[in-house]
Structure 1
Amino acid sequence: MRPPRLDSLTGLRWWAAFAVFAHHMTNIAPLPGSYALSFGSYGVTFFFVLSGFVLTWSARPGTAVSTFYWRRFARIYPSHFIALLLAIPVFYSFSPAAEDWWVKPVNVGILALSFVLLQGWSRDPVILFSGNPAAWTLTCEAFFYALHPVINRIFGKLRVRGSLLLVGAVIAAAFLYRFGVVLFPGSWLADAPLPVVRLSEFVIGIGIAQAMLSGWKVRIAPVWCYLGAGALIAWLVISLRWSGTPIVDFFRLTANEWIIVACAITIAAVAWSDLTGKRSIMRWRPFVLLGEWSYAFYLVHATVIYALLAVVGVQPKGWSNLLWYVGLLIVTVAAAAALHYLVERPCERFLRSWWDRRLERRTQLAASVSDVTTPGDGRADRDS
């Protein structure tokens, strides 16, 4: 039986995308205390954990690996391709001396990496943020998708305790990696490719989904997760004034890993709340709708922000800049809705339908060949 939809997670996905948007808005319209908005970049962490959870939750036994890969391509690539074409005029110039710091000279070789989602394997910012700067995360996602059938098969052999123990081991490995980067800043650990470094987030999502599919009951109300995540971010902001204290520095240096844990617990709690039919503000239809647009929103938000930045420049810091946030949010949501309805949904529907028809034709051909080559049937009737 197919697991039920978890609409609250779709609503949460919108807030993760909005957090990334707010983080990047500080480049054009800084607010007093904008440092707090820098933690919006961890919306990407939420996406990675959620991706592992959702793919595992929605996986159907018997689906061929090739079908899984095609469906993921159909889901992410068409919108990425169009968003990349829209981003190039904003972030690239044929002039060798571009006036704006975010504009790069056209390099066909580097741009080609963006079209095939390989840019995220480099730590060089010129390559990592090439094409559409937000799309480096798609390199990670493509890597995760490639490994999902294998990793999911491993977790599929485990029950609740085994899945949670393996999740705990992955979290411990993430902390150990962070310690290694801090202790050996010049080592290969600090330059490891991001798809490999961020894989732990995706695997944790797979693990908690498998634990829930195996019967794990999450006894935490989502509201406590929201408050806990808010308190964690507040602490990381406030604790800056106590830098140099060992315990404070420990938590600040491992902030990424604590946020991974917070994301994982929140996703599990919200999913369980939906499963048990409890009320959830995240299932409010506008939030769910925005969540459905969130992938397109993520792809276009940087292009919209920097296109305007080229025209108006950086605004003086002040609360009046909230008007820019509102205005650009409206424009970006409108652009995301257009990308979703004109490209994302119809292309995914067409590509999946084409693949399904192809598989059906192959199945019918195989069946007809089997009927022709099966010995005995026609001859037995004639001999009798």
Structure 2
Amino acid sequence: MARQTCRTETSAALPTPALASSLPSLTGMRWAAAFVVFVYHVRNFGYFGGEGARIVDWAFGAGATGVSFFFILSGFVLAWSARPGEGAWLFWRRRLARIYPVPLVTALVALVLAFTVVPGLRPSGSTEAVSNLLLVSSWNHHWWHALNPVSWSLTCEAALYAVFPTVYAGLRRLSPRGLTALAMACTGAVILLPWVNSYFTLGWTLHSFPLARIPSSSSAQPSAAWSSSGSGAGWRRRPPWGPSSSAARRRQLRGVHSDRAGLSHTGGCAQ
């Protein structure tokens, strides 16, 4: 009976792998990207001059890439934190409650400014204004700066949310090789889109067109599948180039035997 108790207590005392529920390193990267985008916009307003302007141009002239990073990060976090049993409607309601209040308030502020001190914000008609409020304005390249000029990024984000439940359902059915192929295909689409847009004269404004932003966001979602330990996303797969499950199991068993040997030498169990 004592031996059984010892084995039970030993098993309970052994450390278990912690399931990651937060991504502090990515939070820091988000701050860095936001800073780059902020300075880029300040530079566009002509705030800096002389030698300072030259330095800022050199350091932050490509600041728009920070927005691209946000789309990639958003795709990763969505897949990492997704809830396997959650339906599409519940997911959409949660995302709407999370992001919509801010663009709604800023759009109303932009309307006030448009008819008072900043007439350049004035929409061409009610349809353009409504499209901005519904987060669909960037689907029309003439309206990508409609009403609240920076809301085009939220329009792209809304498109990502619209397709995510379907993408997520497909991701959960893919093998590690399938996930690798999907990541490569999305990356290839990002690279080829400028050529396709030019060759076929599509006339898309790629940086603000929602359909063109979906591949970059989706390219990070297989990475979340590989990286997640199961917290929230529910994946248990390993990347094809990572350590095999048998090797990981051998390491785990070695740790178990070491812990038990240590307990035996220190008299941690009743005999």
1:116 equivalent in structure 2: 134
2:66 equivalent in structure 1: 43
1:93 equivalent in structure 2: 115
Give distance in 2, aligned partners of 1:41 and 1:89.
28
2:215 equivalent in structure 1: 200
1:57 equivalent in structure 2: 80
Match for residue 16 of structure 1 among 18, 28, 33: 33
Deviations 1:145-191 (A, max 9, x none): 01001111111112333212210111112222222234x2x711645
Q: Letter of the aligned partner of 1:144 in structure 2?
A: L
Larger relative contact order (C-alpha < 8 A, sep ≥ 6)? Answer: 1
Q: Letter of the aligned partner of 1:42 in structure 2?
A: T
1:148 equivalent in structure 2: 164
**If the length of structure 1 is used for normalisation, what is the TM-score?**
0.50
For 1:224-303, what aligned pairs fall within 5 Å after superposition?
none
| Structure 1: gaps of 5 or more residues | 220-384
TM-aligned CA deviation for residue 196 of structure 1 = 0.5
2:148 equivalent in structure 1: 132
Deviations 1:41-92 (A, max 9, x none): 11111111111111110011211211100000011001221122233344x1
Give distance in 2, aligned partners of 1:187 and 1:59.
37
Name the larger-Rg structure: 2
Give distance in 1, aligned partners of 2:201 and 2:91.
37
Q: Letter of the aligned partner of 2:195 in structure 1?
A: F
Deviations 1:78-110 (A, max 9, x none): 1221122233344x1369x95xxx544674332
Q: 1:218 to 1:70 in 2, by over 3 A?
A: farther
| Structure 2: gaps of 5 or more residues | 1-17, 229-236, 243-271
1:29 equivalent in structure 2: 47
Give distance in 1, aligned partners of 2:212 and 2:106.
26
1:212 equivalent in structure 2: 227
TM-aligned CA deviation for residue 116 of structure 1 = 0.9
Give distance in 2, aligned partners of 1:122 and 1:22.
28
Q: State yes or no: 1:188 paired with 2:202.
A: yes
Q: Letter of the aligned partner of 1:43 in structure 2?
A: G
- Percent of aligned pairs with the same residue? 31
Give distance in 2, aligned partners of 1:199 and 1:54.
14
The answer to whether the Cα contact below 8 Å between 1:160 and 1:212 also exists between their aligned partners in 2 is: no
Give distance in 2, aligned partners of 1:191 and 1:11.
30
Give distance in 2, aligned partners of 1:67 and 1:19.
34
Give distance in 1, aligned partners of 2:226 and 2:171.
9
TM-aligned CA deviation for residue 38 of structure 1 = 2.8
The count of aligned residue pairs is 210
Q: 1:218 to 1:114 in 2, by over 3 A?
A: farther
For 1:367-378, what aligned pairs fall within 5 Å after superposition?
none
Give distance in 1, aligned partners of 2:54 and 2:73.
31
Give distance in 1, aligned partners of 2:123 and 2:172.
47
The answer to whether the Cα contact below 8 Å between 2:92 and 2:162 also exists between their aligned partners in 1 is: yes
Q: Letter of the aligned partner of 2:225 in structure 1?
A: Q
